[in-house]
Amino acid sequence: MDALSEKLSTITLSGDSSILDVSRRQVKLVYVDVLNFSGTFFKRGNHWSFKSAQKKVNAFVQYAKNSDLKLKIFIDAFAESDEAIMKWKHRREVEVRKGERNMPQSMNVLLGDMFRSCGVEVCYSSEADNDDTLASHAHHDGACVLSQDRDFLRYKGRTYYIYTDAKMDYKCKRLRLIPRRDMVCHSSRREIISPPPATKPKDPGFVSLPDYLRGTPSPLTHHFTNVHITVRPLRQAYYAHLAIESNVCEEFPVYSDSEPTKVRWDVSSVPKDATLLHLLKDPKNAYKHFFGDMTRPEGVSSKDWSNHVYATYAVVLELCSLYMGTPLYNLLVKHAAQPA
């Protein structure tokens, strides 16, 4: 065990007054790679778990405060390399073929909303890769890193401690950080970016325009077209609101009826169109316009139908959220109705 690991192994956050709580001297700023811990807050396979997720976030933040930890949340919003995009597209194709969608649409936006509502600073990494961004900010700010990603070991001259998990002690109402034990780096070494890359306080939404590449929000792409395609006219209205002059290249995976084992990517050049601009400030009627007559296909399980209905609400309300400036979480709580 190296010197850094030894320091990490001594840091335990506990409600027992007989144990020295060195967090008050050595641990203050904790920069969280929060998408690594999405399963801590959201129930895998249940897209309607956003209310319970908010309660878990509330507890997580309060327990951190009780442990004298100041959190800062980092979420990826960076346009990836071609190689990373190809890997991402392959995973999305598997989802379409298998009819799966384990985590809810807009989870990255919701996590930002939830932590921000608790007074925690949220940073969307839009200028550089999220790992590069978080590592640089932690290094320059004297913070530690909370992430399961081994890539945080690769940065030359790093000064931050690394934790791989944070356990909530419900009895003591404190947060216990779990240090990384295996300090072997398998990635190529990399310099820490200086100065730290810029971030955005909210999800930039259409950061990659004039390209808009997304997966499928629903497990039922076999029965319906990709929900993103269904709500395209509403997105065109948002393009008009942004005063985008050139067409947007939209690309989504869809199920191939002619070849059951194949997934094709629907690629369209989409212009702005203000026709439905009025619906961006009217979430209830916006949803009714696109999905008011939707019915459950025969043979579809209750779970898949429920998650599909969530997806339809999410894609409509995330556009209304961007236009109105209202947190997506608030709109879901107010307007989204889970099927019985």
Domain termination residue (choose one: 179, 201, 233): 179
| 21 confidence band (pLDDT: 50, 70, 90) | very low
Query: What is the rounded (10 degree) CA torsion for 98, 95, 293, 240?
Result: -160
Q: Is the peptide bond before 195 cis (omega within 30 degrees of 0)?
A: yes
CB 149 within 8 A of CB 33: yes
Is pLDDT above 90 for 19?
no
- Total domains in the chain come to 2
Q: In terms of domains, do 53 and 150 share one?
A: yes
Look at residue 231 and tell me if it is in a domain: yes
Look at residue 203 and tell me if it is in a domain: no
Look at residue 204 and tell me if it is in a domain: no
Look at residue 26 and tell me if it is in a domain: yes
Query: What CATH number has the domain bearing residue 22?
Result: 3.40.50.1010
CB 102 within 8 A of CB 45: yes
Query: What is the rounded (10 degree) CA torsion for 225, 228, 230, 231?
Result: 170
Query: What letter does residue 178 receive in the DSSP assignment?
Result: E
Range of the structural domain that residue 161 is part of? 3-179
Look at residue 200 and tell me if it is in a domain: no
14 vs 301, which has greater pLDDT? 301
83-97, 191-205, 230-244: range with highest mean pLDDT: 230-244
- φ and ψ at residue 72, rounded to 5 degrees: -140, 130
268 vs 3, which has greater pLDDT? 268
Residue 240 to residue 183: CA distance in whole angstroms: 50
What is the mean pLDDT of the segment spanning 155-165?
A: 95
| 262 confidence band (pLDDT: 50, 70, 90) | confident
Look at residue 194 and tell me if it is in a domain: no
Look at residue 155 and tell me if it is in a domain: yes
Stated pTM of the model: 0.88
pLDDT of residue 208: 64
Look at residue 197 and tell me if it is in a domain: no
Is pLDDT above 50 for 340?
yes
Is pLDDT above 80 for 2?
no
For the chain, the residue count is 340
pLDDT of residue 80: 74
Q: In terms of domains, do 240 and 324 share one?
A: yes
